[in-house]
Amino acid sequence: MAFRSVILGAPASGKGTISSRIVKTFGLEHVASGDRLRINITKNTPIGKTAKKYIEEGLLVPDDLMVNFISEEIRQIKKNIWLLDGFPRTVSQAESLWRVQKLDVVLNLVVPYNIIVDRVKGRWIHLPSGRVYNTDFNAPKVPGKDDITGEDLVQRKDDSPEIVLKRLEQYEKMTRPVINFYKEKGILEEFAGNTSDEIWPKVKSVLLNYLSEVK
C-alpha cells in the first residue's frame, strides 16, 4: 500500500511534536526538512554549509536546492508510506512535488501566534534524531539530556526572539499560499487548537480513515 502526506504549520506550531505521535501510532516514515538540514550543518556537508547561512537568518533555503535535497531523501525511503514535515514551504516547491508525487492528505496545524512565540523559548532538541522537548510541556526526564540516548540536548540558533519573528514573516509571505494550493486540490485537513494534546486526537481520527494503528 502507499500513503503520502504532508504536515504544514507555522514555525513551532507543533509539526515535529504531532509527527512523532503519528510515527509512533501509524509507523510511517517521517522526513523533516529542517531536521535533515540541521544534521547536514553539523556534518559540514556542501548543502549544510549553504543552508546554514539562510537558516541562521530565519530565511528560506532556495527552492532548487530544497527540491533536489528532499527528492533524494524521498527516493531513499524504503516503503511508500511517508509524512513530509517542513517541505513544501513555497508554492514552487509544492508544484515540483505534485508533478512527481500526488499526495493523499495534507494536515495543516493552526495555532495562535502568541502561543508560538512563547513556546520556542523552552525548546530543546536532540540533533541526531530531531526529538523535540520543551521545559514547560514535555520536559526531558533528565534536564539537558535525550530520553532515549542520554546524549546532550541543544537549543536552536534560529529560536532567538528576533529570528523567530523573521521566520513568522517568511511563513506569512512564502508558506501561507501553500495552504490554498492544497485546498484547491481537495486534500487539505485543518486542525486548530492551543495545544498539541488538543490537536492530536483530531489528527489521529482523520488518519484512521487511511491507515491502521501499529500494535
Quote the CA–CA distance of 210 and 215 in Å, as a whole number. Answer: 16
Q: Does 11 bind Mg ion (CB under 5 A)?
A: no
Residue among 11, 16, 58, 88 that touches Mg ion (CB under 5 A): 16
Any catalytic annotation for residue 4?
Answer: no
Any catalytic annotation for residue 89?
Answer: yes
Nearest distance from residue 111's CB to Mg ion, in Å? 13
Any catalytic annotation for residue 123?
Answer: yes
C-beta of residue 179 within 8 angstroms of C-beta of residue 89 = no
User: How far are the Cα atoms of 75, 83, 170, 179, 198 from residue 107, in angstroms, in the given order?
Assistant: 22, 10, 20, 10, 15
Q: Does 33 bind ligand G5P (CB under 6 A)?
A: yes
Q: Which residue is nearest to ligand G5P (CB)?
A: 34
Q: Does 52 bind ligand G5P (CB under 6 A)?
A: no
Burial class (CB in 10 A: 0-12, 13-18, 19+), 51: buried
The number of C-alpha atoms within 13 Å of 201 and in the hemisphere containing its C-beta is: 2
* Site for ligand G5P, rule CB under 6 A: 9, 11-17, 33-34, 37, 54-55, 58-61, 66, 86-87, 89, 93, 119, 123, 132-134, 136-138, 158, 167, 195-197
